[in-house]
A and B are shown apart, each in its own frame.
Chain A
Amino acid sequence: MEPGEIHALLGENGAGKSTLMNVLYGLYQPDEGEILVDGKPLKLRGPSDAIAAGIGMVHQHFMLVPVFTVAENIMLGAEQVRGGIAGFLDRRRARREVAEVSERYNLRVDPDAVIEDLPVGIQQRVEIVKALTRDVDLLILDEPTAVLTPQETEELLTVMRSLKAAGKSIVFITHKLGEVKAIADRITVIRRGKTVGTASPEASRDELAALMVGRSVRLTVEKSPATPREPMLEVAGLVVDDDRQVRAVDGVDLTVRAGEVLGVAGVQGNGQTELIEAIMGLRPVLAGTVSLAGDRIDGWTTKKVLRAGVGYVPEDRSVDGLVKEFSVAENLVLDIYDRPPFGAGLAIKPDAIAASAKERIEQFDVRTSSADAPVGTLSGGNQQKVIVARELSRPLKLFIAAQPTRGVDVGSIEFIHSRIIRERDIGTAVMVVSSELDEVIGLADRIAVMYRGRIIGIVGPDTPREEIGLLMAGISPDAAPERGAVAAPTDGTATDGGPASDARPASEDEA
């Protein structure tokens, strides 16, 4: 690492990027080898040693106390006290430090804001400020863009550039090739715990991807034109609240036809999650109807919806998709354990479960030591394949995949995408919800853009990215095409803070 350099660390999930950085930050102890700082070997016994050595880290999952203010979070771990033995916390000083750092690096944060009220992008900025107040020279960013909107990502890149200009070095861990090319000075690719190559940002996406997975991969999804048939899923006037009883889905109409992929694009938190959960019977429908092949399914239990031939890949696999303590085999029957041949009456048939697990592990290329291994021991991509395998192994009318490739390595992405297209081609109606615009554009035959609980526009897959990006930000072009967009003009004005001129409404209002 050179001073003032942005060094990207690229690798598949489970390649060892995060482990390496955790070693660097003193969280894990190295078994062999050493770390050199300014030519001197460094022994790190914990994060405080690392901070003392000028190494700061922003974790993938933020290490902030949600109910504390920004200033309190920043002083956490390095509390300044005054008043001698009485030990009053010096909040004023913390606030001043925050203000100074914000000023110096042009990182706008309000020191008195409470963390849980802030959007994710700002929370991340707080983490960066926190690291900077500790006077670090080397900043490690572990998958910083995984949770950000495109606009927030853009801002983060700007911040990184200004830090670089101030002479700080940055290690940037990611598996998004576009960002790497946009910002990195040097790229190191890691595969299975080994450095497999160093590349310059001029290298093409395909070259980098090939280095990462060790073979050439297709980044674009190969598919024939869709042959849409009868409408399979029809949603009309759907209204749903989120967990805080705030309106999340506000009158959505959409149709998915058999044999087509409807992509739902949108910045995370605009009602996509609630829309799907309502369809799946996981969330009460307040108004409107949901029908599957002509049958009203709103009000049905989740089990009944699943049994009616709906496959569902939830967006957060570790929370909603898998039982980590369960074996791979058990997870593969998580929603059909009581159906023949896996269940007979009150009993389950371990033999049948094991046999089908073996078959599907092979079919879906799940890399696991055995079918009995707890699914939590698998890498993210393989965990996702388990869910996809489970949902695609029964005859489906409708397949709903939410963020099907989030946090999944390139190799698995390719596989999952091809499976989704194959499902479409056998005549299943497919709905893909993703905050990765590339994914939606690559998979979908039609793209519905969701903004603030409404479908703001439905466009074709060959619509320019910029136009979809604007729709995602709540700015509809003068006359939005197709139905569903009728709500758009009123929406833009009825809600505050989102006038069409503001370039970054989504990131500001999204909290």
Chain B
Amino acid sequence: MSDPNAQSGSPDKEPASEAQAAQTALGNTEQAEPTTGPGRSAPESKPTPTLGRLFLDNLWAANTFTVTLLSLVLAIVVGAVLMIISDPEVLSTFSYITARPSDAFSASWTLVSEAYANLFKGSIFDPEAFSGWVNGDNGWQAVLAPISETLTYTAPLVFTGLAVALAFRGGLFNIGAQGQATIGVILAALAGFLLPLPPGLHLLVAVLAGALGGAVWGFIPGILKARTGAHEVINTIMLNYIATYFLTWLIVQNGVQDPTRTDAISKAVDTSAQLPRLLGDNLRVHAGILLAVLATWAVAWLLNRSTLGFELRAVGANPDAARTAGISVTRTYTLIMVFSGILAGLGGSNMVLGSTASALTPLVVAQIGFDGILVALLGRVKPWGVLLAALLFGALQAGGNRMQSYSGISLELVTVLQALIVIFIAAPALVKAIFQLRAARAARLQTSLAKGW
């Protein structure tokens, strides 16, 4: 609990290794070594087995990392089955499988391997672009394009994931990251095109406006929970609706709607309020990802090294004991929701100040709030874990786009994959049973997901 990295892998680990490791199943053990090795010291009593043996033992024990990895594998397998079933051509080869089984298998293999290869190429690394760069056919930007796309999708998910995780650690289930992000995106955009401010200051004000919007939208259920005991799950869901429809209404108001358009789109945010792009104008990755890493560090510090974090964790684990020890539970609940809202609001501002969009539309925040719940659960509600989970989800989004255009696999399959991963992680017993994992020695696996209800 004190070390955020202990179970969720090292923070500087490339997103590539997670997805890759999953694809090549378990042949990739060296890559996982630095993450599982330390922190799990040799058992005291056993007659000193070799380090490698110990490592393999621990890897196969049902620790968090292994279960997460295997959940990925399972999701990919189920995803493959879904692809085969949903493709009529491949399915037709199965009608004569007893006569010529090779047809069915090769067709399935081609479909699935190409789809996943495109998923990989779209999110991490495209060998063709690399050879093109070597031959001089295209610039270096093409090589970094997949990573750039992944990071662009990752940034807002980190914020909403952190928002949900922070609330979760304080014993609150914040379903309202979506609404908080929506209010965040509204205020950020308004500040972005209404205020005539110099560059730099304008960006700062717009980002802070987004945070403020989220804070207000988090404060409401927080204070209601603290003062009246109203359940935050219900209130945040209701506030999600209010925020969504407020956005839809606001876009078409005078002064907000783009005067040159008749459809529901607002004016564009001034360039002075946009997050700078990191790798030139052709690549979409922007400073939001840096803010996201900073936010992850800040949340980790807040949780583990601050008095507020101590209060928050105490209230989350046992509000009665916290109250008896003089911690104000009501104040803590309110603060948790405000901080959670700030994070979600920042995630919202990323959606309009970054490169995804520059104007408000009814769908400008996409699903980042709800995806944030999945990211938080996948990241085991630990800050650095959330960052890694957001990277995975960002990669799936980015790769899913390419998978759709190149392999004709619907983008929705990516959503299905994400859902499957989280389901398998939420049911560690299932994964353990499927892979016959030994029970972990030290850390008992728990489904913490039911808490907060």
Contacts and interface: CB of A to CB of B under 8 A. Distances in A.
Interface in B279-331: 305-311, 313-314, 317-318, 320-328
B1 interface: yes
A63 B429 CA distance: 26
Contact of A319 (B313, B321, B327): B321
B307 A314 contact: no
B321 A321 contact: yes
Interface residues of B, number: 22
B307 A326 contact: no
Given A346-B308, A348-B305, A282 B317 contact: no
B305 A322 contact: no
B2 interface: yes
B328 A347 contact: no
B307 A323 contact: no
Contact of A323 (B306, B318, B328): B318
Interface in B321-348: 321-328
Given A320-B321, A325-B317, A350-B305, A303 B328 contact: yes
Interface in A301-335: 301-307, 312, 314, 319-327, 330, 334-335
A338 interface: yes
Contact of B321 (A306, A307, A323): A323
B310 A320 contact: no
A282 B324 contact: yes
B305 A302 contact: no
A337 interface: yes
Contacts of B310: 330, 337-338, 348
Nearest to A391: B325
A354 to B, nearest CB: 10
Given A282-B324, A302-B323, A302-B324, A347 B317 contact: no
Contacts of B2: 327, 350, 372
The interface size bin for chain A is 20 to 34
Given A323-B314, A323-B318, A326-B313, A348 B324 contact: no
Contacts of A282: 323-324
A319 B320 contact: yes
A158 B322 CA distance: 42
A314 B318 CA distance: 14
A350 B328 CA distance: 22
A462 to B, nearest CB: 34
Given A343-B307, A348-B305, A350-B2, A280 B314 contact: no
B443 to A, nearest CB: 11
A343 B325 CA distance: 15
B307 A337 contact: yes
A280 B323 CA distance: 11
B317 A280 contact: no
A335 B325 contact: yes
A372 B442 CA distance: 13
A325 B310 CA distance: 12
A154 B326 CA distance: 39
Contacts of A326: 313-314, 317
Contacts of B313: 323, 326
B324 A280 contact: yes
A434 to B, nearest CB: 18
Contacts of A301: 326, 328
B323 A346 contact: no
Contacts of A350: 2, 305
A303 B327 contact: yes
B382 to A, nearest CB: 14
Contacts of A322: 318, 321
A488 to B, nearest CB: 31
A338 B318 CA distance: 18
Contact of B326 (A303, A347, A372): A303
Interface string B59-98: 0000000000000000000000000000000000000000
Contacts of A319: 318, 320-321
Contacts of B317: 323-326
B324 A347 contact: no
A343 B308 CA distance: 10
B324 A321 contact: yes
Contacts of A348: 305-307, 309-310
A306 B323 CA distance: 11
Contacts of B307: 337-338, 343, 346-348
Contacts of A305: 326
A355 to B, nearest CB: 15
B306 A347 contact: yes
Contacts of A330: 310
Given A337-B310, A338-B307, A350-B2, A320 B324 contact: yes
Determine which residue in B307, B308, B322 has the highest number of CB atoms from chain A within 10 A of its CB, and name it.
B307
A324 B446 CA distance: 15
Interface string A267-295: 00000000000001010000000000000
A327 B309 CA distance: 15
Interface string A206-244: 000000000000000000000000000000000000000
A302 to B, nearest CB: 4
A320 B328 contact: no
B298 to A, nearest CB: 12
A406 to B, nearest CB: 16
Contact of A324 (B305, B311, B318): B318
Nearest to B315: A323
B321 A334 contact: yes
A306 B314 CA distance: 17
Contacts of B324: 280, 282, 302, 312, 314, 320-321
Contacts of A343: 307
Contacts of B323: 282, 302, 320
A330 to B, nearest CB: 7
A306 B326 contact: yes
A347 B320 contact: no
A347 B1 CA distance: 17
A423 B313 CA distance: 31
Contacts of B1: 325, 327
A330 B325 CA distance: 12
B333 to A, nearest CB: 16
A212 B2 CA distance: 38
B45 to A, nearest CB: 14
A321 B317 CA distance: 12
Nearest to A346: B306
Nearest to A305: B326
A203 B285 CA distance: 81
A354 B296 CA distance: 25
A502 to B, nearest CB: 36
Contacts of B306: 346-348
A318 to B, nearest CB: 9
Determine which residue in A312, A319, A323, A337 has the highest number of CB atoms from chain B within 10 A of its CB, and name it.
A323
Nearest to A319: B320
Nearest to A334: B325
B375 to A, nearest CB: 23
Contacts of B328: 301, 303
Contacts of B305: 347-348, 350
Interface of A: 280, 282, 301-307, 312, 314, 319-327, 330, 334-335, 337-338, 343, 346-348, 350, 372
Query: Which 3 A-B pairs have CB atoms at the shortest separation, nearest pair first?
Result: A303-B326, A335-B325, A338-B307
29 contacts: A282-B324, A301-B328, A302-B323, A303-B327, A306-B325, A312-B324, A314-B324, A319-B318, A319-B320, A320-B320, A321-B324, A323-B313, A323-B318, A323-B321, A323-B322, A325-B317, A325-B318, A326-B313, A334-B314, A334-B321, A334-B325, A335-B325, A335-B326, A337-B307, A337-B311, A346-B306, A347-B305, A348-B310, A350-B2
Given A323-B313, A323-B314, 16 more contacts: A302-B325, A306-B326, A320-B320, A320-B321, A322-B318, A323-B322, A325-B318, A326-B314, A327-B1, A334-B314, A346-B307, A346-B308, A347-B305, A347-B307, A348-B306, A350-B305
